[in-house]
């Protein structure tokens, strides 16, 4: 079986065939760096990370471009309000984006071009479209793309002319009277007063101004793939579904008009929304969770990845506390099994492990080759855990074959929590616990100190439990859970504290 992907352009799942065997030019629309990206944005970036990892695991040389939009209406508006230059304003958000991405185990793209570093490529693209008569200068000094002169417009979104007009005029703009047609979009925007103040204006032969958002992606993608491989067509272009129209439609129009080719990208892939309480997560609605919120709550990134990958990227899903909690439990289960599997590794695999490893390899490949069916891939990992635990309980040994199959699956999905299990012995530590009268409800920042802190609380809980003070015992369990410590009472009467989550 070969990789098959759903192509928005054809609305079909098709066998993936790159332009040149063995290599893939991948472009994914990155964040607009005016604020912290939220977990809904990261759902898209995680789907793209899975795509990136699976292409690599399948043997492709992947050239992955993810842009950073550091000049547009939002970044300029926020920089103006903050009294900073554009460059000063976006810098911390670029840093934050990379921090969040690393926390979520999102692998590095090959390049992260910033729009403001590629102005000459954008100017060149506009010049050519002007010389071809596909772009024109409006009365307001902006340059527009003439959709009437590009008949293939609308192919990706499959919208009728009427809908395109309605979509275009929805975005209330002051340029309404400068355009020849309401559908036309700005390639280059004449400077407004705050554009000059924040340093978001550049010289161009067709007048001072700044690039439009759509232009940024086309110009950088074409410039970078030409530079890298001398090509003008992307193998895969991905983004969130909200980018299909107008953003990706406009990217296609500009790029194809510029290169004279029929295609800008061979495959277009789009990730569905993450919702909260039935609403699309967005800054406008205020229903935002950011990766940093989850990180501060001690949530292991493996749990977030598991939560996202339990749903196919083309399906919407609702983020709930309950969903996150069960993903944390699942990810912890994977982590505990991983410890068990790798710690007791033998020189050779028992037949049960040979068989389970073979099945995991086969099912992982089958699932991900089938339009990145992550839910099935994750299910294959859990099936391996069930079979593996049973085999280990029966005294069978896991060896290099089982470890390799596990590491391959985890290497692509990254859904396993880092888990540390600490035994707490009641008798030995009871004296020490009584010495500390006041115990802080928040753990110390040092990782080892934090573990001692958790043990103390676990002992206090045990005492409350034996005194039948269950309400207090439950309160302590919840308190520890909120900081990534999970208490477990073993059958033999001992207590285990299971730690997941990032070091604080
Ligand atoms: Zn884009």
What is the whole-number distance in angstroms between the Cα of residue 68 and the centre of ligand 1?
Answer: 9
The whole-angstrom separation of Cα 23 and Cα 56 is: 9
What is the per-residue pLDDT for 172?
47
Alpha-carbon span 346 to 335, nearest angstrom: 19
User: What is the DSSP code (8-state) at residue 20?
Assistant: S
- 466/342 same-domain check: no
Domain assignment present for residue 33? The answer is yes
- Distance, CA 213 to ligand 1 centroid (Å)? 8
What is the average pLDDT across 388-409?
Answer: 97
Q: What is the mean pLDDT of residues 13-34?
A: 97
Kindly report, residue by residue over 178-209, the tens digit of the pLDDT.
Answer: 888 988 999 999 999 899 999 999 999 999 99
CA of 23 to the centre of ligand 1 (A): 21
Segment 29-48, tens digit of pLDDT:
999 999 999 999 999 999 99
Note the pLDDT of residue 288. 75
Residue 298 lies in a domain: no
* 341 CA to centre of ligand 1 in angstroms: 43
* Dist. CA 222–CA 113, nearest whole Å: 12
Is the pLDDT at 62 greater than 80, yes or no?
yes
Cα(211) to ligand 1 centroid in Å equals 13
Give dist(CA 496, CA 488) in Å, integer. Answer: 5
As a whole number of Å, the CA-based R_g of the chain is: 27
The Cα-based distances of 330 to 53, 161, 302 in angstroms read 22, 48, 10
Question: For residue 166, what pLDDT is reported?
Answer: 58
Picking from 421, 334, 348, the residue whose alpha carbon sits closest to that of residue 385 is 334
Q: Which of 297, 276, 301, 296 minimizes the C-alpha distance to 288?
A: 276
479 C-alpha to ligand 1 centroid (Å): 42
State the distance from the centre of ligand 1 to the C-alpha of 247, rounded, in angstroms: 6
Q: How far is the CA of 309 from the centre of ligand 1 (A)?
A: 24
CA of 256 to the centre of ligand 1 (A): 15
Q: Do 389 and 442 reside in the same domain of the chain?
A: no
Supply the pLDDT for residue 219: 98
Same domain as 408, residue 437: no
Tell me, what's the pLDDT at 1?
62
* Distance (Å, whole) CA 270 – CA 459: 50
Q: Mean pLDDT throughout 57-64?
A: 98
Q: Cα of 117 to ligand 1 centre, how many Å? A: 16
C-alpha 240 – ligand 1 centre gap (Å): 10
Same domain, 222 and 256: yes
Asked if 144 and 136 touch (Cβ cutoff 8 Å), the reply is yes
Residue 29 C-alpha to ligand 1 middle, in angstroms?
4
Mean pLDDT check: name the lowest of 136-140, 215-219, 295-299, 332-336. 295-299
Output the CA 329–ligand 1 centroid distance in Å. Answer: 36
Find the length of the chain: 504
Pair 415, 50: CB distance under 8 Å: no
Residue 3 alpha carbon to ligand 1 centre in Å = 24
358 and 484 inside one domain: no
Neighbours of 230 (CB within 10 A): 7
pLDDT at 446: 87
263-300: buried (b, 16+ CB within 10 Å) or exposed (e) per residue?
Answer: ebbbbbbbbbbbbbeeebbbeeeebbbbbbebbeebbb
pTM across the whole model = 0.92
Longest dimension (CA), the chain: 85
> What is the 74 CA–ligand 1 centroid distance (Å)?
15
What pLDDT is recorded for position 504?
Answer: 38
Sheet with 61-66: list strands edge to edge. Answer: 61-66, 23-28, 234-240, 265-271
* Structural domain contains residue 303: no
Q: How far apart are CA 334 and CA 318, in angstroms?
A: 23
Residue with tokens 């992947």: 62
Asked if residue 372 belongs to a domain, the reply is yes
Q: How far is CA 128 from the centre of its chain?
A: 35
> Which CATH number belongs to the domain containing residue 344 in this structure?
1.20.120
Judgement on whether residues 181 and 330 belong to the same structural domain of the protein: no
Chain segment 242-280, per-residue pLDDT in tens: 999 999 999 999 999 999 999 999 999 999 999 987 777
Last residue of a domain, one of 368, 389, 413: 413
- Give every CB contact of residue 482 below 8 A, 6+ residues apart in sequence: 297, 298
The pLDDT of residue 21 is 96
Distance from C-alpha of 338 to C-alpha of 359, rounded to nearest angstrom: 17
**pLDDT of res. 276:** 84
Pairing of strands 210-211, 234-240: unpaired
Which DSSP helix (H) or strand (E) runs through 226? helix 213-229
Last residue of a domain, one of 372, 388, 413: 413
Dist. CA 190 → ligand 1 center (Å): 21
d(CA 235, ligand 1 centre) in Å: 15
Q: Please give the distance, rounded to the nearest whole angstrom, from the Cα atom of residue 157 to the centre of ligand 1.
A: 15
pLDDT computed for residue 298 by the predictor: 82
Residue 467 in domain: yes
pLDDT at position 312 is: 98
Query: For residues 196 and 236, is the Cβ–Cβ distance under 8 A?
Result: no
Report how many domains make up the chain. Answer: 3
Q: Are residues 271 and 323 in the same domain?
A: no
Name the residue range of residue 359's domain. Answer: 318-413
**Spacing, Cα 237 to ligand 1 middle (Å):** 9
Residues 6+ apart with CB under 8 A from 39: 274, 281, 288, 289, 290, 291, 294, 304, 319
Under 8 Å CB-to-CB from 111, ≥6 apart: which residues? Answer: 64, 65, 66, 224
Token code pair at residue 282: 């967005």
Task: Kindly give the distance from the C-alpha atom of residue 161 to the centroid of ligand 1, in angstroms, as a whole number.
Answer: 23
Verify that 429 and 405 share a domain, yes or no. no
Phi then psi for residue 103, to 5 deg, are -55, -40
* Whether 76 and 161 share a structural domain: yes
In terms of pLDDT, which residue wins out, 288 or 137? 137
Phi, psi of 493 (to 5 degrees): 90, -10
Q: Are residues 406 and 431 in the same domain?
A: no
Report residue 434's pLDDT band, with 50, 70 and 90 as the boundaries. Answer: low
**What is the pLDDT, as a whole number, of residue 228?**
98
**Residues 262 and 323 reside in one and the same domain:** no
Kindly report, residue by residue over 437-466, the tens digit of the pLDDT: 678 898 998 888 989 999 999 999 988 998
- Which of 268, 378, 395, 295 is CA-nearest to residue 330? 378
Could you tell me the CATH number of the domain that includes residue 237?
A: 3.40.50.620
Q: State how far the Cα of 172 lies from the Cα of 162, in Å rounded to an integer.
A: 17
Residue 13: inside a domain, yes or no? Answer: no
In a domain, 26, yes or no: yes
Q: Residue 439: its pLDDT value, please?
A: 86
High-pLDDT (> 70) share of the chain, %: 92
Question: Ligand 1: distance of its center to the CA of 339 in Å?
Answer: 41
The more confidently predicted of residues 174 and 395 is 395
d(Cα 53, Cα 56) in Å, to the nearest integer?
5
CA of 205 to the centre of ligand 1 (A): 25
pLDDT in tens, 84-126: 999 999 999 999 999 999 999 999 999 999 999 999 999 999 9
Q: Are residues 132 and 262 located together in one domain of the fold?
A: yes
Is 12 among the domain residues? no
| 214 CA → ligand 1 middle, Å | 6
Residue 425: per-residue pLDDT = 78
Measured in Å, residue 454 CA sits from the centre of ligand 1 at 46
Quote the CA–CA distance of 412 and 76 in Å, as a whole number: 38
């Amino acid at each position: 079986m070969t990789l098959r992907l759903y192509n928005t352009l054809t609305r079909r799942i098709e066998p993936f065939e790159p332009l040149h065997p063995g290599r893939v030019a991948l472009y994914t629309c990155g964040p607009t760096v005016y604020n912290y990206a939220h977990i809904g944005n990261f759902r898209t970036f995680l789907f793209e990370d899975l795509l990136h990892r699976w292409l690599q695991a399948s043997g492709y040389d992947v050239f992955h471009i993810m842009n950073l939009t550091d000049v547009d209406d939002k970044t300029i508006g926020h920089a103006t309000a903050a009294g900073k230059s554009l460059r000063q304003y976006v810098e911390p958000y670029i840093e934050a984006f990379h921090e969040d991405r690393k926390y979520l185990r999102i692998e590095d793209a090959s390049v992260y071009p910033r729009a403001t570093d590629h102005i000459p490529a954008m100017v060149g693209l506009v010049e050519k479209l002007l010389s071809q008569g596909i772009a024109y200068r409006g009365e307001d000094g902006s340059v527009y793309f003439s959709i009437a002169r590009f008949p293939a417009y609308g192919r990706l979104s499959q919208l009728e002319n009427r809908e395109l007009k309605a979509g275009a005029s929805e975005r209330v703009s002051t340029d309404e009277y400068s355009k020849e047609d309401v559908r036309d979009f700005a390639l280059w925007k004449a400077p407004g007063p705050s554009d000059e103040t924040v340093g978001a204006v550049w010289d161009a032969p067709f007048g001072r101004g700044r690039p439009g958002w759509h232009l940024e992606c086309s110009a950088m993608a074409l410039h970078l793939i030409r530079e890298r491989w001398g090509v003008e067509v992307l193998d895969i272009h991905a983004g969130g579904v909200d980018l299909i129209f107008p953003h990706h439609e406009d990217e296609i129009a500009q790029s194809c008009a510029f290169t004279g080719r029929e295609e800008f990208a061979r495959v277009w892939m789009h990730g569905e929304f993450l919702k909260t309480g039935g609403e699309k997560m967005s800054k406008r609605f205020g229903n935002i969770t950011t990766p940093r919120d989850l990180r501060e709550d001690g949530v292991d990134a493996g749990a977030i990845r598991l939560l996202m990958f339990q749903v196919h990227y083309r399906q919407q899903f609702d983020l709930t506390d309950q969903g996150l909690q069960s993903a944390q439990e699942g990810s912890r289960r994977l982590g505990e099994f991983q410890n068990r599997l790798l710690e007791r590794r033998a020189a050779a695999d028992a037949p049960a492990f040979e068989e389970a490893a073979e099945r995991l390899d086969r099912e992982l490949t089958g699932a991900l080759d089938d339009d990145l069916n992550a839910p099935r891939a994750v299910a294959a990992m859990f099936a391996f855990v069930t079979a593996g635990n049973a085999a280990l309980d029966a005294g069978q040994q896991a060896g290099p074959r089982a470890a390799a199959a596990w590491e391959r699956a985890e290497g692509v999905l990254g859904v396993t929590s880092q888990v540390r299990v600490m035994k707490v012995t009641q008798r030995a530590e009871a004296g020490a616990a009584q010495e500390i009268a006041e115990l802080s409800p928040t753990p110390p920042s040092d990782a080892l100190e934090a573990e001692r802190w958790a043990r103390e609380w676990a002992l206090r809980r045990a005492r409350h439990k034996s005194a039948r003070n269950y309400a207090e015992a439950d309160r302590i369990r919840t308190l520890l859970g909120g900081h990534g410590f999970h208490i477990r009472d073993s059958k033999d009467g001992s207590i285990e504290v299971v730690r997941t989550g990032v070091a604080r």
